[in-house]
Amino acid sequence: MSHVFHRVLSRALPRAVRADGVWIEDADGKRYLDGSGGAIVVSLGHGDRALIDAMTAQASRLPYVHGTAFTTDSLEDYADDVASVLPLDDARIYPVSGGSEAVETALKLARAYYLARGERSRTVVIGRRSSYHGNTLGALDVGGKEQLRRPYAPWLGRFAHVDAAYEYRCANPAHPVGCGRWHAGQLERAIVGAGPATVAAFIAEPVAGATLAAAVPTDDYWSSVVEVCRRHRVLVIADEVMTGFGRTGRWFGLDHWGVRPDILTAGKGSTSGYWPFGFAACSGEVFETVRPNGFVHGFTWSHNGVGAAVAHAALRRLRESNLVQASALQGELLLKDLAGALAEHPTVGDVRGIGSMIGIELVADRDTKVPFARSEQRTERVLAAARERGLLLYSNAGHVDGDGDLLMLGPPFTISDEERGLLAERTVAAITSLDG
Ligand code: PLP
Protein backbone atom coordinates (compact mmCIF):
# COMPACT_ATOMS: atom_id res chain seq x y z
CA MET A 1 0.00 0.00 0.00
CA SER A 2 1.25 3.45 -0.92
CA HIS A 3 0.19 6.78 0.59
CA VAL A 4 0.92 8.52 -2.71
CA PHE A 5 -2.04 9.64 -4.81
CA HIS A 6 -0.39 8.58 -8.09
CA ARG A 7 -0.98 10.09 -11.54
CA VAL A 8 -1.93 6.61 -12.78
CA LEU A 9 -4.45 4.64 -10.71
CA SER A 10 -5.13 1.72 -13.05
CA ARG A 11 -1.77 -0.08 -12.76
CA ALA A 12 1.18 -0.25 -10.40
CA LEU A 13 4.01 2.04 -11.45
CA PRO A 14 7.62 0.85 -11.50
CA ARG A 15 9.88 2.72 -9.09
CA ALA A 16 12.52 4.80 -10.93
CA VAL A 17 15.82 4.86 -9.08
CA ARG A 18 18.35 6.53 -11.42
CA ALA A 19 18.76 8.02 -14.86
CA ASP A 20 21.62 8.84 -17.18
CA GLY A 21 21.58 10.24 -20.72
CA VAL A 22 18.52 8.82 -22.47
CA TRP A 23 18.13 5.95 -19.99
CA ILE A 24 15.98 5.53 -16.87
CA GLU A 25 16.47 2.53 -14.57
CA ASP A 26 13.85 1.11 -12.22
CA ALA A 27 14.24 -0.68 -8.87
CA ASP A 28 14.27 -4.07 -10.61
CA GLY A 29 17.23 -3.01 -12.72
CA LYS A 30 15.17 -2.70 -15.90
CA ARG A 31 16.43 0.05 -18.22
CA TYR A 32 14.05 2.16 -20.30
CA LEU A 33 15.00 4.26 -23.30
CA ASP A 34 13.33 7.63 -22.60
CA GLY A 35 11.98 8.10 -26.11
CA SER A 36 9.85 11.10 -25.20
CA GLY A 37 11.95 12.76 -22.48
CA GLY A 38 8.96 12.20 -20.14
CA ALA A 39 6.24 14.49 -21.46
CA ILE A 40 8.56 16.00 -24.14
CA VAL A 41 10.56 17.68 -21.41
CA VAL A 42 14.08 16.28 -21.05
CA SER A 43 16.01 17.83 -23.92
CA LEU A 44 19.54 17.64 -22.48
CA GLY A 45 19.44 14.07 -21.22
CA HIS A 46 19.50 12.90 -17.62
CA GLY A 47 22.41 13.52 -15.27
CA ASP A 48 23.83 16.65 -16.93
CA ARG A 49 26.58 17.89 -14.57
CA ALA A 50 26.34 21.55 -15.62
CA LEU A 51 22.66 21.75 -14.67
CA ILE A 52 23.12 19.88 -11.40
CA ASP A 53 26.08 22.09 -10.44
CA ALA A 54 24.16 25.28 -11.27
CA MET A 55 21.26 24.07 -9.14
CA THR A 56 23.37 23.16 -6.12
CA ALA A 57 25.50 26.33 -6.34
CA GLN A 58 22.45 28.63 -6.36
CA ALA A 59 20.64 26.58 -3.69
CA SER A 60 23.73 26.76 -1.45
CA ARG A 61 24.10 30.52 -1.94
CA LEU A 62 20.47 31.64 -1.87
CA PRO A 63 17.70 29.03 -1.90
CA TYR A 64 14.64 31.29 -1.68
CA VAL A 65 13.62 34.91 -1.49
CA HIS A 66 10.16 36.27 -2.18
CA GLY A 67 9.58 37.93 -5.54
CA THR A 68 7.99 41.01 -4.01
CA ALA A 69 11.00 41.62 -1.73
CA PHE A 70 14.03 40.89 -3.93
CA THR A 71 15.40 40.26 -7.34
CA THR A 72 18.52 38.07 -7.68
CA ASP A 73 21.62 37.89 -9.86
CA SER A 74 20.57 34.51 -11.20
CA LEU A 75 17.20 35.82 -12.33
CA GLU A 76 18.55 39.06 -13.82
CA ASP A 77 21.36 37.25 -15.66
CA TYR A 78 19.03 34.61 -17.04
CA ALA A 79 16.46 37.17 -18.21
CA ASP A 80 19.16 39.19 -20.02
CA ASP A 81 20.46 36.10 -21.75
CA VAL A 82 17.18 34.41 -22.66
CA ALA A 83 15.82 37.70 -24.06
CA SER A 84 18.40 37.39 -26.85
CA VAL A 85 16.88 34.14 -28.15
CA LEU A 86 13.18 34.85 -27.60
CA PRO A 87 11.21 35.87 -30.72
CA LEU A 88 9.91 38.97 -28.92
CA ASP A 89 10.87 42.62 -29.28
CA ASP A 90 12.57 43.83 -26.09
CA ALA A 91 11.39 40.79 -24.08
CA ARG A 92 10.45 40.81 -20.38
CA ILE A 93 10.04 37.48 -18.61
CA TYR A 94 7.74 36.56 -15.72
CA PRO A 95 9.06 33.24 -14.31
CA VAL A 96 6.66 30.69 -12.81
CA SER A 97 6.70 26.98 -11.89
CA GLY A 98 5.54 25.36 -15.12
CA GLY A 99 3.50 25.49 -18.30
CA SER A 100 0.00 25.83 -16.85
CA GLU A 101 1.06 28.72 -14.63
CA ALA A 102 2.80 30.32 -17.61
CA VAL A 103 -0.44 30.13 -19.61
CA GLU A 104 -2.52 31.55 -16.73
CA THR A 105 -0.01 34.38 -16.50
CA ALA A 106 -0.21 35.03 -20.25
CA LEU A 107 -4.02 35.16 -20.21
CA LYS A 108 -4.03 37.61 -17.32
CA LEU A 109 -1.33 39.67 -18.97
CA ALA A 110 -3.47 40.07 -22.09
CA ARG A 111 -6.33 41.23 -19.87
CA ALA A 112 -4.04 43.59 -17.95
CA TYR A 113 -2.82 45.07 -21.24
CA TYR A 114 -6.31 46.00 -22.37
CA LEU A 115 -7.37 47.21 -18.94
CA ALA A 116 -4.35 49.53 -18.97
CA ARG A 117 -5.41 50.81 -22.38
CA GLY A 118 -8.92 51.54 -21.12
CA GLU A 119 -10.45 48.85 -23.35
CA ARG A 120 -12.28 47.06 -20.57
CA SER A 121 -14.60 45.21 -22.95
CA ARG A 122 -11.72 43.09 -24.30
CA THR A 123 -12.18 39.94 -22.20
CA VAL A 124 -12.47 37.13 -24.76
CA VAL A 125 -9.55 34.86 -25.59
CA ILE A 126 -9.78 32.65 -28.65
CA GLY A 127 -8.10 29.25 -28.41
CA ARG A 128 -8.16 26.24 -30.69
CA ARG A 129 -10.06 22.97 -30.57
CA SER A 130 -7.81 19.93 -30.00
CA SER A 131 -5.20 22.09 -28.31
CA TYR A 132 -3.57 21.73 -24.91
CA HIS A 133 -2.48 24.61 -22.70
CA GLY A 134 -2.53 23.02 -19.24
CA ASN A 135 -4.79 21.64 -16.54
CA THR A 136 -5.48 24.68 -14.35
CA LEU A 137 -8.96 26.09 -14.97
CA GLY A 138 -8.05 29.03 -17.20
CA ALA A 139 -5.61 26.99 -19.29
CA LEU A 140 -8.09 24.09 -19.48
CA ASP A 141 -10.82 26.47 -20.61
CA VAL A 142 -8.81 28.06 -23.40
CA GLY A 143 -7.56 24.63 -24.47
CA GLY A 144 -9.57 22.11 -26.43
CA LYS A 145 -8.86 18.64 -25.14
CA GLU A 146 -12.38 17.35 -24.61
CA GLN A 147 -11.67 14.41 -22.28
CA LEU A 148 -9.88 16.69 -19.85
CA ARG A 149 -12.56 19.37 -20.02
CA ARG A 150 -15.59 17.12 -19.65
CA PRO A 151 -15.59 16.50 -15.84
CA TYR A 152 -15.14 20.21 -15.20
CA ALA A 153 -17.46 21.50 -17.93
CA PRO A 154 -19.74 23.34 -15.46
CA TRP A 155 -16.75 25.52 -14.54
CA LEU A 156 -15.69 26.23 -18.11
CA GLY A 157 -17.00 28.07 -21.15
CA ARG A 158 -15.52 31.57 -20.98
CA PHE A 159 -13.57 31.37 -24.24
CA ALA A 160 -14.13 30.79 -27.96
CA HIS A 161 -12.38 28.15 -30.07
CA VAL A 162 -11.45 27.71 -33.73
CA ASP A 163 -9.97 24.70 -35.54
CA ALA A 164 -6.32 23.83 -34.96
CA ALA A 165 -4.01 23.41 -37.94
CA TYR A 166 -4.12 19.63 -38.34
CA GLU A 167 -3.14 18.72 -41.88
CA TYR A 168 -3.91 14.99 -41.65
CA ARG A 169 -7.59 15.69 -41.04
CA CYS A 170 -7.93 19.25 -42.34
CA ALA A 171 -11.51 20.50 -42.73
CA ASN A 172 -10.61 23.00 -45.48
CA PRO A 173 -12.60 21.73 -48.52
CA ALA A 174 -9.74 22.83 -50.83
CA HIS A 175 -7.04 21.19 -48.67
CA PRO A 176 -4.09 21.35 -49.12
CA VAL A 177 -4.60 24.55 -51.09
CA GLY A 178 -4.99 27.77 -49.11
CA CYS A 179 -5.14 26.22 -45.62
CA GLY A 180 -3.57 29.31 -44.04
CA ARG A 181 -6.18 31.58 -45.60
CA TRP A 182 -8.96 29.15 -44.64
CA HIS A 183 -7.90 29.12 -40.96
CA ALA A 184 -7.45 32.90 -40.98
CA GLY A 185 -11.00 33.26 -42.33
CA GLN A 186 -12.33 31.05 -39.53
CA LEU A 187 -10.43 33.07 -36.92
CA GLU A 188 -11.70 36.35 -38.36
CA ARG A 189 -15.30 35.10 -38.26
CA ALA A 190 -14.80 34.12 -34.60
CA ILE A 191 -13.44 37.59 -33.79
CA VAL A 192 -16.23 39.37 -35.65
CA GLY A 193 -18.81 37.01 -34.12
CA ALA A 194 -17.60 37.75 -30.60
CA GLY A 195 -17.42 41.44 -31.41
CA PRO A 196 -13.92 42.71 -32.31
CA ALA A 197 -13.93 45.14 -29.38
CA THR A 198 -14.38 42.23 -26.96
CA VAL A 199 -11.43 40.05 -28.06
CA ALA A 200 -8.17 40.39 -26.14
CA ALA A 201 -6.01 37.55 -27.47
CA PHE A 202 -5.60 34.48 -29.64
CA ILE A 203 -3.56 31.62 -28.16
CA ALA A 204 -2.07 28.67 -30.06
CA GLU A 205 0.77 26.17 -30.00
CA PRO A 206 3.12 26.84 -32.93
CA VAL A 207 3.06 23.09 -33.60
CA ALA A 208 0.17 21.27 -31.88
CA GLY A 209 1.72 18.85 -29.40
CA ALA A 210 0.07 17.05 -26.51
CA THR A 211 -3.34 16.68 -28.20
CA LEU A 212 -2.44 16.31 -31.89
CA ALA A 213 1.09 14.81 -31.69
CA ALA A 214 3.32 17.15 -33.66
CA ALA A 215 0.77 18.48 -36.15
CA VAL A 216 2.84 20.93 -38.21
CA PRO A 217 0.85 23.75 -39.86
CA THR A 218 1.27 24.71 -43.50
CA ASP A 219 3.84 27.43 -44.13
CA ASP A 220 1.13 30.07 -44.71
CA TYR A 221 -0.73 29.33 -41.45
CA TRP A 222 1.05 31.56 -38.97
CA SER A 223 1.49 34.62 -41.18
CA SER A 224 -2.22 34.41 -42.12
CA VAL A 225 -3.65 34.15 -38.59
CA VAL A 226 -1.27 36.79 -37.22
CA GLU A 227 -2.34 39.21 -39.97
CA VAL A 228 -5.97 38.82 -38.83
CA CYS A 229 -4.99 39.35 -35.18
CA ARG A 230 -2.99 42.51 -36.01
CA ARG A 231 -5.87 43.93 -38.06
CA HIS A 232 -8.29 43.49 -35.13
CA ARG A 233 -5.66 44.44 -32.51
CA VAL A 234 -5.93 41.00 -30.92
CA LEU A 235 -2.78 40.00 -29.00
CA VAL A 236 -1.00 36.89 -30.25
CA ILE A 237 0.01 34.43 -27.50
CA ALA A 238 2.37 31.69 -28.69
CA ASP A 239 2.26 28.74 -26.32
CA GLU A 240 5.82 27.46 -26.72
CA VAL A 241 5.73 25.28 -23.58
CA MET A 242 6.41 22.17 -25.66
CA THR A 243 7.96 23.71 -28.79
CA GLY A 244 10.39 26.06 -27.03
CA PHE A 245 14.10 25.76 -26.41
CA GLY A 246 15.07 23.78 -29.49
CA ARG A 247 12.42 21.06 -29.51
CA THR A 248 11.41 21.77 -33.13
CA GLY A 249 14.99 22.28 -34.35
CA ARG A 250 14.89 26.06 -33.97
CA TRP A 251 15.09 28.00 -30.72
CA PHE A 252 11.32 28.52 -30.74
CA GLY A 253 8.59 27.01 -32.88
CA LEU A 254 7.55 30.33 -34.39
CA ASP A 255 11.11 30.89 -35.65
CA HIS A 256 10.25 28.49 -38.49
CA TRP A 257 7.79 31.02 -39.84
CA GLY A 258 9.46 34.29 -38.86
CA VAL A 259 6.54 35.36 -36.67
CA ARG A 260 6.90 37.42 -33.49
CA PRO A 261 4.06 37.14 -30.95
CA ASP A 262 3.13 39.69 -28.27
CA ILE A 263 3.26 37.14 -25.46
CA LEU A 264 4.99 33.76 -25.31
CA THR A 265 4.86 30.94 -22.78
CA ALA A 266 7.63 28.47 -21.98
CA GLY A 267 8.10 25.53 -19.58
CA LYS A 268 9.21 21.92 -20.09
CA GLY A 269 12.55 22.22 -21.98
CA SER A 270 13.45 25.54 -20.33
CA THR A 271 15.17 23.52 -17.58
CA SER A 272 15.10 20.14 -19.34
CA GLY A 273 12.99 18.93 -16.40
CA TYR A 274 15.68 19.52 -13.76
CA TRP A 275 13.59 22.15 -11.96
CA PRO A 276 9.86 23.01 -12.12
CA PHE A 277 10.14 26.21 -14.12
CA GLY A 278 8.51 28.15 -16.92
CA PHE A 279 7.66 31.71 -17.80
CA ALA A 280 5.37 34.04 -19.62
CA ALA A 281 7.30 36.60 -21.63
CA CYS A 282 5.99 39.68 -23.36
CA SER A 283 7.22 42.36 -25.70
CA GLY A 284 8.53 45.63 -24.29
CA GLU A 285 5.42 47.33 -25.66
CA VAL A 286 3.08 45.04 -23.66
CA PHE A 287 5.25 45.49 -20.56
CA GLU A 288 5.39 49.30 -20.81
CA THR A 289 1.62 49.45 -21.28
CA VAL A 290 0.95 47.31 -18.20
CA ARG A 291 3.67 48.87 -16.03
CA PRO A 292 1.91 52.11 -14.85
CA ASN A 293 -1.05 50.22 -13.33
CA GLY A 294 0.98 47.18 -12.24
CA PHE A 295 0.12 43.54 -12.84
CA VAL A 296 -2.24 41.98 -10.30
CA HIS A 297 -0.76 38.48 -10.19
CA GLY A 298 1.99 36.38 -8.55
CA PHE A 299 2.86 33.07 -6.91
CA THR A 300 4.93 32.09 -3.88
CA TRP A 301 7.33 30.21 -6.19
CA SER A 302 7.44 32.70 -9.06
CA HIS A 303 10.73 34.47 -9.91
CA ASN A 304 12.63 31.60 -8.30
CA GLY A 305 16.39 32.08 -8.31
CA VAL A 306 17.29 28.38 -8.32
CA GLY A 307 14.95 27.78 -11.25
CA ALA A 308 16.53 30.70 -13.12
CA ALA A 309 20.03 29.34 -12.45
CA VAL A 310 19.08 25.92 -13.81
CA ALA A 311 17.33 27.47 -16.82
CA HIS A 312 20.43 29.56 -17.48
CA ALA A 313 22.64 26.48 -17.36
CA ALA A 314 20.24 24.75 -19.79
CA LEU A 315 20.36 27.76 -22.14
CA ARG A 316 24.16 27.72 -22.11
CA ARG A 317 24.27 23.98 -22.77
CA LEU A 318 21.91 24.34 -25.72
CA ARG A 319 24.01 27.16 -27.13
CA GLU A 320 27.53 25.92 -26.38
CA SER A 321 26.97 22.32 -27.49
CA ASN A 322 24.94 23.30 -30.59
CA LEU A 323 22.05 21.23 -29.30
CA VAL A 324 19.33 23.11 -31.19
CA GLN A 325 21.04 21.97 -34.40
CA ALA A 326 21.40 18.47 -32.90
CA SER A 327 17.64 18.43 -32.25
CA ALA A 328 16.99 19.34 -35.91
CA LEU A 329 19.41 16.74 -37.23
CA GLN A 330 18.58 13.80 -34.94
CA GLY A 331 14.85 14.56 -35.33
CA GLU A 332 15.08 14.59 -39.11
CA LEU A 333 16.91 11.26 -39.15
CA LEU A 334 14.49 9.69 -36.67
CA LEU A 335 11.47 10.89 -38.65
CA LYS A 336 13.01 9.49 -41.85
CA ASP A 337 13.70 6.10 -40.23
CA LEU A 338 10.20 5.85 -38.76
CA ALA A 339 8.45 7.04 -41.92
CA GLY A 340 10.44 4.51 -43.96
CA ALA A 341 9.86 1.58 -41.61
CA LEU A 342 6.15 2.33 -41.17
CA ALA A 343 5.36 3.42 -44.74
CA GLU A 344 3.38 0.28 -45.55
CA HIS A 345 2.17 -0.51 -42.07
CA PRO A 346 -1.61 -1.15 -42.17
CA THR A 347 -2.39 0.69 -38.92
CA VAL A 348 -0.11 3.71 -39.35
CA GLY A 349 -1.97 6.60 -40.96
CA ASP A 350 0.63 9.32 -40.57
CA VAL A 351 4.18 9.86 -39.36
CA ARG A 352 4.84 13.57 -38.92
CA GLY A 353 6.81 16.14 -37.04
CA ILE A 354 9.48 18.78 -37.01
CA GLY A 355 12.83 18.68 -35.26
CA SER A 356 12.76 16.31 -32.29
CA MET A 357 8.97 16.48 -31.97
CA ILE A 358 7.48 13.51 -33.79
CA GLY A 359 3.97 12.05 -33.93
CA ILE A 360 2.56 8.77 -35.20
CA GLU A 361 -1.17 8.50 -35.86
CA LEU A 362 -2.64 5.00 -35.69
CA VAL A 363 -5.78 4.23 -37.70
CA ALA A 364 -8.00 1.21 -38.32
CA ASP A 365 -8.05 1.97 -42.06
CA ARG A 366 -5.29 3.89 -43.84
CA ASP A 367 -7.41 4.75 -46.89
CA THR A 368 -10.43 6.14 -45.08
CA LYS A 369 -8.45 7.34 -42.00
CA VAL A 370 -11.11 5.76 -39.79
CA PRO A 371 -9.67 5.54 -36.27
CA PHE A 372 -9.77 2.56 -33.96
CA ALA A 373 -12.67 2.64 -31.50
CA ARG A 374 -11.49 3.92 -28.16
CA SER A 375 -12.70 0.69 -26.58
CA GLU A 376 -9.81 -1.09 -28.37
CA GLN A 377 -7.35 0.85 -26.22
CA ARG A 378 -4.83 0.81 -29.08
CA THR A 379 -2.62 3.55 -27.67
CA GLU A 380 -2.49 1.96 -24.24
CA ARG A 381 -1.61 -1.42 -25.73
CA VAL A 382 1.21 -0.01 -27.89
CA LEU A 383 2.56 1.86 -24.88
CA ALA A 384 2.50 -1.32 -22.80
CA ALA A 385 4.26 -3.23 -25.60
CA ALA A 386 6.89 -0.47 -25.71
CA ARG A 387 7.42 -0.57 -21.94
CA GLU A 388 7.85 -4.31 -22.14
CA ARG A 389 10.63 -3.69 -24.68
CA GLY A 390 12.26 -1.05 -22.46
CA LEU A 391 10.92 2.00 -24.30
CA LEU A 392 8.95 5.00 -23.00
CA LEU A 393 6.71 6.92 -25.40
CA TYR A 394 4.25 9.81 -24.92
CA SER A 395 0.70 9.56 -26.21
CA ASN A 396 -2.76 10.96 -26.64
CA ALA A 397 -6.04 9.26 -27.43
CA GLY A 398 -9.56 10.34 -28.28
CA HIS A 399 -8.85 13.34 -30.50
CA VAL A 400 -11.27 12.20 -33.26
CA ASP A 401 -14.70 12.61 -31.64
CA GLY A 402 -13.62 10.46 -28.72
CA ASP A 403 -11.69 7.89 -30.80
CA GLY A 404 -8.19 8.19 -32.26
CA ASP A 405 -4.71 7.09 -31.23
CA LEU A 406 -1.51 9.13 -31.22
CA LEU A 407 2.03 8.28 -30.17
CA MET A 408 4.68 10.91 -29.60
CA LEU A 409 8.45 10.71 -29.65
CA GLY A 410 10.65 13.49 -28.34
CA PRO A 411 14.01 12.20 -27.19
CA PRO A 412 16.77 14.25 -25.58
CA PHE A 413 18.77 16.12 -28.25
CA THR A 414 21.88 14.42 -26.87
CA ILE A 415 20.75 11.01 -28.13
CA SER A 416 23.50 9.07 -29.95
CA ASP A 417 23.09 7.62 -33.44
CA GLU A 418 23.00 4.13 -32.00
CA GLU A 419 20.35 5.05 -29.40
CA ARG A 420 18.30 6.77 -32.12
CA GLY A 421 18.38 3.55 -34.15
CA LEU A 422 17.23 1.60 -31.10
CA LEU A 423 14.43 4.09 -30.47
CA ALA A 424 13.10 3.66 -34.02
CA GLU A 425 13.51 -0.11 -33.86
CA ARG A 426 11.67 -0.52 -30.55
CA THR A 427 8.90 1.88 -31.61
CA VAL A 428 8.25 -0.07 -34.80
CA ALA A 429 8.42 -3.39 -32.87
CA ALA A 430 5.85 -2.14 -30.30
CA ILE A 431 3.42 -1.03 -33.03
CA THR A 432 3.93 -4.21 -35.05
CA SER A 433 3.45 -6.44 -32.00
CA LEU A 434 -0.28 -5.71 -32.13
CA ASP A 435 -0.65 -6.94 -35.71
CA GLY A 436 -2.78 -9.96 -36.45
N1 PLP B 1 1.12 24.31 -22.89
C2 PLP B 1 1.52 23.33 -23.70
C3 PLP B 1 1.67 23.60 -25.17
C4 PLP B 1 1.81 22.06 -23.21
O5 PLP B 1 2.19 21.08 -24.05
C6 PLP B 1 1.67 21.83 -21.81
C7 PLP B 1 1.94 20.49 -21.25
O8 PLP B 1 1.96 19.50 -21.94
C9 PLP B 1 1.26 22.88 -20.99
C10 PLP B 1 1.00 24.12 -21.56
C11 PLP B 1 1.08 22.69 -19.51
O12 PLP B 1 2.33 22.58 -18.91
P13 PLP B 1 2.49 21.96 -17.43
O14 PLP B 1 2.14 20.52 -17.55
O15 PLP B 1 3.94 22.21 -17.11
O16 PLP B 1 1.58 22.72 -16.53
Which of ligand 1's atoms lies nearest the C-alpha of 265?
A: 1
Residue 146 Cα distances to 149, 398, 400, angstroms: 5, 8, 10
Tell me what pLDDT residue 436 has. 72
Q: Over the stretch 22-43, which tens digit does the pLDDT of each residue have? A: 999 999 999 999 999 999 999 9
Q: Are 395 and 379 in contact (CB under 8 A)?
A: yes
Q: Are 126 and 203 in contact (CB under 8 A)?
A: yes
The CATH topology of domain 49-320 is Aspartate Aminotransferase; domain 2 (3.40.640)
Instruction: Single out the residue of 190, 181, 189 nearest to residue 219, CA to CA.
Output: 181
**Ligand 1, atom 1: nearest CA belongs to which residue?**
133
Which of ligand 1's atoms lies nearest the C-alpha of 131?
A: 3
Domain ranges of the chain: 16-47+322-432, 49-320
Instruction: Single out the residue of 37, 5, 41 nearest to residue 22, CA to CA.
Output: 37
DSSP 19: E
Instruction: Single out the residue of 220, 218, 217 nearest to residue 208, CA to CA.
Output: 217
Which of ligand 1's atoms lies nearest the C-alpha of 136?
A: 16
- The average confidence (pLDDT) of the chain is 97
Q: Over the stretch 77-135, which tens digit does the pLDDT of each residue have? A: 999 999 999 999 999 999 999 999 999 999 999 999 999 999 999 999 999 999 999 99
213 CA distance to ligand 1 middle (Å): 13
Q: What are the two backbone dihedrals, phi and then psi, of residue 176, each rounded to the nearest 5 degrees?
A: -95, 15
Architecture, CATH, for domain 16-47+322-432? Alpha-Beta Complex (3.90)
Tell me what pLDDT residue 130 has. 96
100 CA distance to ligand 1 middle (Å): 6
Asked whether the whole model's pTM tops 0.95, one would answer: yes
For ligand 1, residues with CB inside 6 Å are 39, 98-100, 103, 132-134, 205, 209-210, 239, 241-242, 267
Residue 224 has pLDDT above 80, yes or no: yes
Stronger pLDDT, 76 or 436, i.e. the higher one: 76
Which of ligand 1's atoms lies nearest the C-alpha of 98?
A: 15
209 CA distance to ligand 1 middle (Å): 9
Position 383 confidence tier, pLDDT thresholds 50, 70, 90:
very high
Average pLDDT value for residue range 409-419: 98
